[in-house]
């Protein structure tokens, strides 16, 4: 494997177009991990039926998946110091492939615990990719357009999150009639073909990445044992950014994970009429299948927003754009919680549009001015993605408690409707980060 070394001056002053080939090949990684992450939104309602799970327990899919970011992010940063960015990307892809293939024995048994194990392995591989690819794109060109570049690559991540739930719903979720007639083993087996196919694609992509000539950015890396006079903890924008990532990912994933169950409620999506299917349990099961298709609209909004954001951020500074998006997301979630029918449905789906630029913007603001500590700072920020494990579970638990108190414990009660106020609170912190917490040291400690 060969690489092109780019020194600090070149990386700082170079034109992003000079790295077009590298950007294109790395962008495929964003697409793949986006696809696999959003498939969790289909697995959640699927496992609810196969294993007879309540909302909070089914959210363990996200807890297992996103906990891997917390466990493996710092080790991933050390892997990058040891192997370099390119080899770390290959290692991440192969680990993801192993996790995808673990879905086969998990489905054959079937075992919810083994499915969670497979998701942890899969997410460990994605963690390595995230820690490597996000800072790599950030420093691959002019610093002032870092947010724009990362938004562009994240747009293709959102392309994956848009396509995957729609295809996954067709392959994985069964109709109400089929769900009644098939045994759990048959239902669980519907995940095998999609995940085996993805495992093969991941292995092939690892070969392609390993043989490609990627530029080596020396200004944003250091070797194991190398002494650096700075510390990541001397940069408050990184610490505030880690909290912002925690809450952003938690809020975004909580909404995405809830869409199928949320829109399947009679007073929200009204996707199946009570006259055509009087039994509430069967009606909810059938509505889940229809609602899963709308998950793609939520993530599709993020994709469109990132393409728009990539252009906007060429002209407008990152912080005001992030502030605007945080305000809009908080308002839309609040409107959905306080309303019913089409207003509640479309306001929650439109949150995806304003989620769009948040992760890449928070990330680039968080690692600003870290220099050779960029990889370590990336590890901290990616570790904060564990918010996707905690907040969706909390939303599910609140929903279960409300349902248990007022709706006899049925998952089609209104508990989830009210529990979704939690992401609105997350977006308010992101507003604080955009206005104040994101200031780098050169601005925070500037003499006035």
Q: What is the mean pLDDT of the chain?
A: 84
447: pLDDT strictly greater than 70: no
Q: Residue 178: its pLDDT value, please?
A: 55
Q: Residue 135: its pLDDT value, please?
A: 77
| pLDDT tens digits for range 309-353 | 888 988 899 999 999 999 999 999 999 999 999 999 999 999 999
CB distance 156 to 130 below 8 Å: no
Q: Residue 120: its pLDDT value, please?
A: 96
| pLDDT tens digits for range 293-314 | 898 899 889 889 988 988 898 8
| pLDDT tens digits for range 372-424 | 777 788 778 888 989 998 999 999 999 999 988 887 777 777 889 999 999 99
What's the count of helices (H) and strands (E) in the chain, helices before strands?
23, 2
d(CA 252, CA 230): 33
Ranges 113-117, 186-190, 361-365, 444-448: which has the least confidence: 444-448
Exposure class string for 179-204: b at 16+ Cβ within 10 A, else e: beeeeeeebbbbbbebbeebbebbbe
78: pLDDT strictly greater than 90: no
Q: What are phi and psi of 440, to 5 degrees?
A: -75, 170
| pTM confidence score | 0.77
**Topology annotation, domain 19-219+232-441:** Growth Hormone; Chain: A; (1.20.1250)
d(CA 113, CA 101): 15
Cβ neighbours of residue 260 closer than 8 Å, sequence gap 6 or more? 41, 42, 44, 45, 288, 291, 292, 294, 295
Collapsing DSSP to helix, strand or coil, 84 comes out as coil
Exposure class string for 48-69: b at 16+ Cβ within 10 A, else e: bbbbebbbbbbbbbbbbbbbbb
Using alpha carbons only, give the angle 254, 62, 111 rounded to the nearest 5 degrees. Answer: 140
Task: Let me know if 82 is exposed, middle or buried by CB neighbors in 10 A (0-12, 13-18, 19+).
Answer: exposed
């Amino acid at each position: 494997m060969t690489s092109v070394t780019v020194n600090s001056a070149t990386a700082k002053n170079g034109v992003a177009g000079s790295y077009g080939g590298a950007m294109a090949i790395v962008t495929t990684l964003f697409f793949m991990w986006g696809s696999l992450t959003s498939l969790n939104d289909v697995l959640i309602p699927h496992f609810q039926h196969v294993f007879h799970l309540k909302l909070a327990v089914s959210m363990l899919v996200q807890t297992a998946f996103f906990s891997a970011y917390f466990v493996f992010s710092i080790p991933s940063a050390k892997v990058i110091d040891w192997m370099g960015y390119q080899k770390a990307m290959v290692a991440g892809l192969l680990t993801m492939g192993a996790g995808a293939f673990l879905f086969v024995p998990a489905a054959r048994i079937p075992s919810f615990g083994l499915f969670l194990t497979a998701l942890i392995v899969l997410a460990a591989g994605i963690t390595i990719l995230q820690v490597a690819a996000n800072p790599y794109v950030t420093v691959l060109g002019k610093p002032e357009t870092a947010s724009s570049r990362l938004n562009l690559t994240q747009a293709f991540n959102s392309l994956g999150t848009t396509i995957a739930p729609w295809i996954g719903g067709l392959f994985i979720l069964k109709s109400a009639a089929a769900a009644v007639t098939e045994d759990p083993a048959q239902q669980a087996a519907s995940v095998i073909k999609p995940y085996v196919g993805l495992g093969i694609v991941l292995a092939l992509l690892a070969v392609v990445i390993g043989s490609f000539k990627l530029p080596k950015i020396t200004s944003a890396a250091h070797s194991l044992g190398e002494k650096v006079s700075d510390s990541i903890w001397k940069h408050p924008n990184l610490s505030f950014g880690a909290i912002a990532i925690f809450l952003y990912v938690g809020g975004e994933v909580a909404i995405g994970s809830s869409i199928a169950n949320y829109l399947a409620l009679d007073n929200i999506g009204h996707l199946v009429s009570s006259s055509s299917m009087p039994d509430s349990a069967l009606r909810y099961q059938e509505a889940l299948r229809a609602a899963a298709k709308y998950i793609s609209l939520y993530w599709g909004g993020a994709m469109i927003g990132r393409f728009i954001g990539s252009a906007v951020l060429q002209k407008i500074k990152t912080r005001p754009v992030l502030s605007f998006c945080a305000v809009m997301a908080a308002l839309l979630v609040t409107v959905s919680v306080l309303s019913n029918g089409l207003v509640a449905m479309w306001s929650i789906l439109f949150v995806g549009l304003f989620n769009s630029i948040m992760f890449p913007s928070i990330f680039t603001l968080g690692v600003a001015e870290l220099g050779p500590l960029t990889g370590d700072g990336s590890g901290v920020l990616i570790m904060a993605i564990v918010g996707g494990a905690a907040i969706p579970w909390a939303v599910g638990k609140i929903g279960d408690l409300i349902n248990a108190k007022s709706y006899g414990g049925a998952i089609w009660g209104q508990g989830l409707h009210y529990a979704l106020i939690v992401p609105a609170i997350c977006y308010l912190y992101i507003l604080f980060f955009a206005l104040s917490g994101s200031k780098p040291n050169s601005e925070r400690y500037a003499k006035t």
